[in-house]
Structure 1
């Protein structure tokens, strides 16, 4: 897997290559590119780029002074697009909603289309079921405790942990890959904690969200009406926020639509971005 040096540190990314439309997939916390392992093979004819951002499952620690806040991570996505020379990108989010703030910061010149798949929005950063984990990250040694808990099947599959993200379940080997970097490396845990405690106040989140309506390019909002993390009304509100927004709901899924309904998600992506 290639690595690119950005201002925060080295970032791994997968790139399927080719001359087709460029689709950049971001991921959740702490997850990596394998979040999309079921969808990418269904997108023949597209160039799929999948960075592993420093959300806690990254393989290389960031610089000690790196800005890993919600805003800092969003700007890091923009830096990645610039450094890789990617233009007219379709940017796809799922679970973590922070990349939308690239638009709020006026740095979306390389984004031609946006796809918001069951992600954090408005003041739902993080969703209520995840907030106890964030509080734990604020305690000295708390992330170390968290990673040990996530090493147990009971905790990781609990409905208030990762068991609440996928209706049909996430395989343990995938979860092992997501949790391994922060389990073995204190510097990764440091990065995870920096991000986890970085969410600004509600008023700031809503101020940033209000700026999203300035994005006048096509936006597809894909929502899971049964989702326990991302409120169903947020899907409609997001679609109405954008001048060219459109909502598609996918049933029999929770937050991780790429896990629960990859074929249907790939279908709506192909419809939105013809190859």
Structure 2
């Protein structure tokens, strides 16, 4: 299984499909990540706040897979933005992961009420220069947050990881990102099960036409839109299903039908608004 890669604006490649460990219990993480690596995943997305970096690191250490073949992302939590704390935070993450560097380090949320995400971004630029991370980016940043850090530093994030699924496509952010050569990573790519995505005719009919599951259709939609995705599951059969999305293509009409599922008014959001997380 060869997963396609996309090129980031700093010249590095990232596997377009990965495995996310959000809400994977710490005690299950090593097994789950080990199974994901056995199935063929090579991109693992974790975060300090998930409390499972040790399990990710143990799975990597025991996998026998050369480090150069793996892409590992972790994230800076909201209470570590100030002073020199980002430097301490990434070193703590690296210790838990058992790695000398990560491939991508993200600011997890902008926490605008604290007004310190610009400082955090300046610190990430330093972390990249120090070799502790290869690429740097952000998560849950909206256009005003993005414009501010780029205007102040001249450094454009490699990615913005945002809530993105058919009912909430954040076209203002994705349009800005496309114009600035920022890759979009879609978290919650299947809507976190918080609405009947798989029962929607546009999804159900495409699944029937291609003899695929509704989840595979939605993941395929993401991939054809250029999004980077890392669906989460702790079941091996679902890990195998989620990676089995490279042997079919949705038609332009099928893509447009899924595109049309976003009402465009923000009501499709299923998680917290970035301006309200501090």
Task: State the TM-score bracket (shorter-chain normalisation).
Answer: 0.3 to 0.5
User: Per chain length, whose mean CA-contact separation is higher, i.e. which structure has more relative contact order (CA < 8 Å, sep 6+)?
Assistant: 1
Which protein is bigger by CA-based radius of gyration? 2
